[in-house]
């Protein structure tokens, strides 16, 4: 069975050539041209990956990313004319998995889609449903984190980063490996993202963020999850 993608784009010409390229790559493609039609599509089917334009006629695509991340970890590739670094950061923080600036090459777009799907499927296969450390419980199947019996809100990026570290518990994961697995190849030069998100995880999960017990820094190399 073909993997099914949802293409959310309001420009008919861009939608046409993007869909043609994806279908030639052997994907099944559904289309939406607004937040409203995208919501209807998501209510009726669960795509394997979403390609999303941020500038939609009835709202900002960031709103949709935020809603999707409340219930799904489906990979999201943003296709947008917004090229400033902060705009990319905003999309990634909201829960996008990768960001491709328009105009983009068809071959690169298809390659990004394929890479995101491979990474997502591998993570799903590797994940242990429930992991406990200290007074924290992480339920991967429900996308839920609880500390001392109280639910802790993690952004999509925070949850993904935590998952990568947990799956390699006890091992030092290099900064470049973490950047690639969490943000993809497009953000390799922005390693400061990693420090920011590790700090946020410590504040939410460690009893004393200044003296972390579980999310450890291996100076000059990367990070290690110790259970």
**Residue 186: pLDDT over 70:** no
In a 13 Å sphere around the CA of 202, the CA atoms on its Cβ side amount to 20
Query: Which of the four pLDDT bands, split at 50, 70 and 90, describes residue 121?
Result: confident
Give 52-75 pLDDT, tens digit per residue. Answer: 999 899 988 888 988 887 677 789
**Residue 176: predicted pLDDT:** 84
Nearest CA to 185 out of 94, 90, 77 is that of 77
Q: What is the mean pLDDT of the chain?
A: 87
In a 13 Å sphere around the CA of 72, the CA atoms on its Cβ side amount to 18
Angstrom distance (rounded) from CA 179 to CA 222: 10
Is 98 in a helix, a strand, or coil? strand
**Residue 46: pLDDT over 90:** no
Give 165-174 pLDDT, tens digit per residue. Answer: 998 888 888 8
Q: Does the model's pTM come out above 0.85?
A: no
**Residue 96: pLDDT over 90:** no
**Residue 225: pLDDT over 90:** yes
Task: Report how far apart, in Å, the C-alpha atoms of 149 and of each of 98, 134, 138, 146, 152 are.
Answer: 33, 12, 11, 6, 9
């Amino acid at each position: 069975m073909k993997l099914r993608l949802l293409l959310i784009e309001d420009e008919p010409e861009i939608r046409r050539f993007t869909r043609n390229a994806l279908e030639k790559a052997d994907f099944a493609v559904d289309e939406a041209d607004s937040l409203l039609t995208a919501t209807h599509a998501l209510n009726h089917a669960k795509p394997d990956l979403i390609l999303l334009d941020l500038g939609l006629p009835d709202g900002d695509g960031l709103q949709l990313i935020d809603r999707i991340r409340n219930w799904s970890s489906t990979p999201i590739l943003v296709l947008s004319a917004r090229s400033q670094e902060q705009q990319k950061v905003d999309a990634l923080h909201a829960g996008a998995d990768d960001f491709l600036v328009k105009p983009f090459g068809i071959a690169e777009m298809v390659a990004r889609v394929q890479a995101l799907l491979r990474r997502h499927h591998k993570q799903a296969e590797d994940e242990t449903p429930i992991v406990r450390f200290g007074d924290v419980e992480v339920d991967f199947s429900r996308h839920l984190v609880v500390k001392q019996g109280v639910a802790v809100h993690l952004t999509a990026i925070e949850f993904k980063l935590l998952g990568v570290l947990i799956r390699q518990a006890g091992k030092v994961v290099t900064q470049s490996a973490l950047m690639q697995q969490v943000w993809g190849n497009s953000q390799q030069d922005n390693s400061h993202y990693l420090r920011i998100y590790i700090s946020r995880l410590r504040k939410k999960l460690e009893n004393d963020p200044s003296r972390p017990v579980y999310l450890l820094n291996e100076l000059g190399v990367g990070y290690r999850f110790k259970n």
